[in-house]
Structure 1
Amino acid sequence: MDKTLQAFGLAVALTAAMAGGAMAQPSEVRIGVALEPPALDPTAGAAEAIDIVVYQNIFEGLVRIDQNGGVQPGLASDWTISDDGLTYTFTLQDGVTFHDGTTFDADDVKFTFDRILSEDSVNAHKEFFTPITSVTVVDPLTVEMKLDHVVGRFLFDLGRGDAVIVAPESADNNAVEPIGTGPFAFVQWDKGSRVILEAYGPYWGEPVHLSKATYLFISDTATMTNALLAGDIDGTNNFASEALAVFENNPQFKVLVGTTEGETILTTNNKKPPFDNLKVRQAMAHALDRQAIIDGATYGYGVPIGAPFAPHDAYYVDLTDTYPHDVEAAKALLAEAGFPDGFSATLKLPPLAYARLSGQIIASQFAKVGIKIELINVEWAQWIEDVYSNKDYDLTIVSHVEPFDIGNYANPDYYYGYDNPDFQALIETLNGTTDEAKRKALAIEAQTILAKDAVNGYLFELAQTGVWNAKLTGMWQNSPIEGLVLRDIAWTE
C-alpha cells in the first residue's frame, strides 16, 4: 500500500473524472456551520466541529450510526459475536479504496486500533476501546477483536468518529489533509473560511447525489441569516433558534426541528475552590432558573434536564427537581459553605449563541444570590485549549453532543475534575452489562449520583434546528451522533 505523490495525483484525477461521469447533472451544496474545526482528524480531537465535516463523509468506521441511533454495516459488511460476548469477527467490504487510490484491508483496521490504544495515543476517547485486548488479521477481509470484558455498547462505540478507519501511510497528516474511504474526498481547507469536499468517484458504496460540498464557517447569527436569505449558502444544520421566525413561514426554506444528544451544561471545575465544595455547587444549582434560561437562550426550543442524559433516551430519568430554583436556599447553602457574601468567578463562553445568551442570563441569576460572574467570550480554538485541554477555567457553558457520554464523569482527568471512586465503579459495571433492564437501572443510578452531587449545572437538551433550501432533501432531522451526513442530500426540481 505504497502511497506516492504520483499515485495521489492519479487518484485525484480519477476521482474528478469518475465523479463527473457518474452524475449527469453534477450539483453542489454550500452549508453554513457555526464553528471551524481545529483539525480534520476525528481520531485525534474531541471537537464536534471535526465530525460535522468529516464523519461518514470523508471517514468511515467498521459500522455507522444512522439517524435513529441504530448501528448499520459500514466498512464491515457483517459480523459475528461469540457466545461469551468477548470475540467479535468482522467481514470487511471488498473493493474499498482510500481517497489516494490505495486499497483498504484488514491491516488498516489493525493499524487504526493499535494506534488508538497505543501509549502515546491522542484519541479523545481512548477509554471506549481499552477493553480491546487484541486485533488479529485473519485474512485481508477478516478481522477478529477480543475484549477483556463484555461491553454493552461496543458496536455503537465502533460507529463513533473516534473509531473511523485510517491508513498508516496517511494517518499522521489527516489533521490537515484527511484521507479516508468515504463518499466524499477532501479538496482544500481555507483556514478561517471554508472546507471543500468533492464526491469520490470510485466510492465502494451507493453513489451520492452531490458532486461537491462546501462548509462555510459563520459564527455570527446575523451573518448566517443574511447568507441564507441571499442564497450564499443552501442551509445550516443547527441555526440559532432566536432567528428561526425569519424562515418558518418562508416557502423558499424548510425548518427541520429535531432532537440531539446535546446536553447543555454549566460546566464546573470541580477540582478548583470553591467549586470543590458540594454546598457551593448545590447553591449554584438552586440559583439556576432553567425555564428562564431556555426561554431566553433557545426561545423555548430546549428541554430541561437534571442530569447529563437526553430526555429521548430510554435510560433517562427526570431529575430536574433535585435542586429546584430557590434563591433563599441558595443563599443559605453559600453561608453554610463559608460564603455568606457570595464570591466572584469567571465564566468562559465559546462563540455559540446558546452559550453566550445562557451566560448572560445565568450571571443575572447568580447575582441574586451573591455570586458575581465575569463573562469572558473566547473563540473556539481558545476554548479547546484553555478550558477543555488545560482546565484553566472556573465555569463554562457548552453542549456535550456525544451519545451516552455519562462515562466522562468516571474519568477524574476529564475537564470536569470530578473524582468519585464509587461512581467510577458503577460506570465500569454499567459498561460490562448487556442486559437492558440492568443497564437502565445502573444508568438511572449514575444519573442520580451526578444530580445529587451537582457536578455541573444541568440546563437543557439542545434541539437541532436546521434551516435549508426548500429544494433540498435527505438532511438528518435528528442528531443521535455528532456529524452532518451528506450521503442522502439531494436537490429536487
Structure 2
Amino acid sequence: MTTAVLLLISLLVACGDSESSSGTEGEDVPKELTYASTSDAKGLSPIDTNDSVSSNVIVQVYETLFSLNPETMEPEPLLAESYETPDENTWVITLKEGISFHDGTPFNAEAVKYTFEQMKDPDRAAPRASLLEPIDTIEVEDEYTVVLTTKEPYGPMLAALSHSNASIVSPTADQEGDINREPVGTGPFVFENWEEGDQVVLTKNEDYWRDPAQLDKVTFKVVPEYSTAISMLETGDVQFLDAIPSDHISRVESLSNVEVDKQEGTRVSYLTFNVEKEPFNELEFRQAVAYAVDQESYVNQLNGLGSYNESIIGPKVFGYEEEATEYGYDYDPDKATEIIEANGYSDESITMLVANRDNYMKMAEIVQSQLSNVGLDVEIETMEWGAFLDTARAGDYEMTFLGWANSTADGSELLYPNLHSDNIGGSNYTRYNNDEFNQLVEESRITVDQNVRKEKLQEANILAIQDVPWVVMEHGVVTAAYDESVSGLSVDPTGQWSLYPVTRE
C-alpha cells in the first residue's frame, strides 16, 4: 500500500470521527436509572397489594393526600392543599386543583371518594383496608373538597393517609382496566411495561403537576441473587440497591464507585406462629420458643444492620417506651427445654415456611438450629415471595418469618393491622385474637390526645410481648447503595424512597 493511499485513509477516518462527534455534541443524553430487587412485584395497585417490593414501584406512580416528612416523620400535605377538623370525628380535606391522572382524567374529590370506598369494600378485600377502617362516611362537598367522618376520633388519620396503600387511583383506569397490572396515578413517573419475573419500566411524567422528574426512565430489575446485583452495581449495569443483607454489606462498602447510606429505621422483623393451630395456640409453646431463640446472637451477625430489642414497637415508632423491653423472654435454653419436655412438644414435627429472601432465610437457618438444640423437630420449606404472601395470608403455615416496615411510623398502625382480630385473613398473618389487646389498640386509635395514645400503646405492647404472638428478631437499619453518578437519593426511616428528586451526573 502506497504512502498516498495510507494518507487518504487516515484523512477519511479523521473526518468520520469528527462528524460522529459533532453529531452528538450538545444532545441531551437520557438520564436512566436501574434499581435491582431480589423479588418481583406482587402487583402494582395500592388497593390490592401490601408488600414492600410492590410499594417501591407504587410510590413512584401514585401519590397520597399527605406524605411523611423524611426528617421529622410528621405528615404534610401532598395532593391535599390543607385540612381542618371542625370536630374530633370530622376531617375536611381541601385538594390541590389542576392535577390529572396519567390517563388524562381529573384528580378530584370524586377520585378520592372512589379510591377510599374501594379500599373499604369487603368484596375487594384490600389487604390494608385497616388503614381506613375508622372512616364511617366519605362525602364530596365540592369538586376539590372531601369530608371524612369517623365513628370515633381517629388519632393516626394523617399518618394513615400518608401510607402508600392510601394512594389515589384513577377511577376510570380501575373500572375499565386492571391497575394491578397497568397502574395509573398522578405521580412523577408513568407506567410503561412489566415483564413479569424480569422488570418493570417507568418513564418520566412530562405533564406532572410539579416540575417533571429529572430521570427520564427507571427500570426495576429482578435480580434473584443479591451477590449478582452487587456485581451489576460495581459494573454500572445497576445504579441503586437497598435493603442490603448483612452478609453483603462489607463488600458493598468496599466498592470505590458506590455511596452507602445507613440509618436506624422503623422496620421490625419477627418469627411468628399460626395461633389457630396446635400447639402454636398454647402460650407455653410460644414461651418455649421465645426462650430458645437467641435474638442477640442473630443481631450480632448483622454487621450493624439491626438492633436487639424485645419490644414489638421499635424505638423509631410512635408509642415506644424503653420500659417495654423488660417484659420480653431472655434467652434461656434450659427453661425452653424444661417447658418442651413438660408438655411433650418434642413429639411435634414443625415446618417453618420461609420466603426466598436472604434475610428470612438467614433467620430461619439460625432459629432452626436453636430450636433443634432444645428438642424441637423443625424443617424449613421455602417459597417464592408472591406465593408465600398468598399462602401465609390464608393461614396455610405453622411458623414463619415476616417484617413490617411501619410506613406510618405509628404504633397503632403497627399493632392494629398485624395483631388485631379485625384483620385475620388480611394483614394479621398470625391470626392473633386477644380481647384485652384488641380493646387497648382500639383505645389508642380513638383519641387525638397523643399522651393517652402513648399510654394505651404501651399497655398493648407489653401485653403482646408477654403473650408472644411474635418473637421479635430485630429492629432494622435502612440502607441504600448507589452509584456515584446518582444524586438526590435518600431513604427515610420507614425504608421508603422517591426517585422524583433523583438525577444522574
TM-score (normalised: structure 1):
0.90
Q: Is 1:209 matched with 2:223? A: no
Q: How many residues align?
A: 464
Q: Note the C-alpha offset of 1:320.
A: 4.5
Contact 2:263 2:479 in 1 (8 A): yes
Name the amino acid aligned to 2:359: Y
Q: Give, in whole Å, the separation in 2 of the partners of 1:100 and 1:467.
A: 34
Measure how far apart 1:424 and its partner are: 0.6
% identical equivalent positions: 25
Counterpart of 1:411 in structure 2: which amino acid? S
CA contact (8 A) 1:45 1:122 kept: no
Query: Normalized against structure 2, the TM-score is what?
Result: 0.88
Tell me, which stretches of 5 or more residues in structure 1 are unaligned? 1-22
SS in 1 for 2:300: helix
Verify: 1:58 aligned to 2:61, yes or no.
yes
Q: Secondary structure at the match of 2:125?
A: coil
Give the match for residue 335 of structure 2.
329
Any idea what the Cα deviations from partners look like across 1:283-330, whole Å, max 9, x if unmatched?
Answer: 10000111211233x234211131322222342234445211001111
RMSD: 1.7
SS in 2 for 1:261: strand
- The answer as to 2:351 corresponding to 1:343 is no
Check if 1:30 corresponds to 2:43: no
Post-superposition Cα deviations, 1:16-45, rounded to whole Å, max 9, x if no partner, equal: xxxxxxx96531111112221111112112
Q: CA deviation at 1:257?
A: 0.7
What is the correspondence of 1:144-163 to structure 2 with a 5 Å cutoff? 144-163=147-166
Contact 2:242 2:480 (8 Å CA) reproduced: yes
Tell me, yes or no, if the aligned pair for 1:60 and 1:181 is still in contact at 8 Å: yes
> Does residue 480 of structure 2 align to residue 466 of structure 1?
yes
Distance of aligned partners of 1:44 and 1:224 in 2 relative to their CA distance in 1, 3 Å threshold: same
Deviation of 1:374 after TM superposition, in Å, equals 0.3
Tell me, in whole angstroms, the C-alpha distance in 2 between the residues paired with 1:47 and 1:348.
17
Which residue in 1 is equivalent to 2:364? 359
SS of residue paired to 2:430: coil
The alignment status of 1:487 with 2:492, answered yes or no, reads no
* 1:21-100 pair list within 5 angstroms: 26-55=30-59, 57-68=60-71, 69-82=73-86, 84-100=87-103
| In structure 2, C-alpha distance between the alignment counterparts of 1:343 and 1:387, rounded to whole Å | 21
Q: Give unpaired runs (5+ residues) of structure 2.
A: 1-26
1:398 corresponds in structure 2 to: 402
Partner residue in 2 for 1:304: 308
> Which of 257, 262, 280 is matched with 1:257 structurally?
262
- Structure 1 position 345, deviation (Å): 0.6
Range with bigger deviation, 184-193 or 403-412? 403-412
Distance (whole Å) between structure 2 residues aligned to residue 37 and residue 162 of structure 1: 14
Structure that is richer in helix per residue = 2
**Structure-to-structure mapping, 1:223-242, within 5 angstroms:** 223-242=228-247
Q: 2 CA distance for matches of 1:42 and 1:259?
A: 26
In structure 1, distance between residues paired with 2:487 and 2:400: 36
* In the alignment, structure 1 residue 456 sits paired with structure 2 residue 460: no
The answer to whether the 8 A contact 1:240-1:465 is kept is no
> Between Structure 1 and Structure 2, whose CA radius of gyration is higher?
2
Contact 1:51/1:484 (CA < 8 Å) preserved in 2?
no
| TM-superposition CA deviations, 1:308-366 (whole Å, max 9, x none) | 22222342234445211001111112233333x45321111112111101111111111
Task: Name the SS for the 1:169 alignment partner.
Answer: helix
In structure 2, the CA distance between the partners of 1:26 and 1:205, relative to structure 1 (3 Å rule), is same
Q: Distance in 1 between matches of 2:210 and 2:242?
A: 24
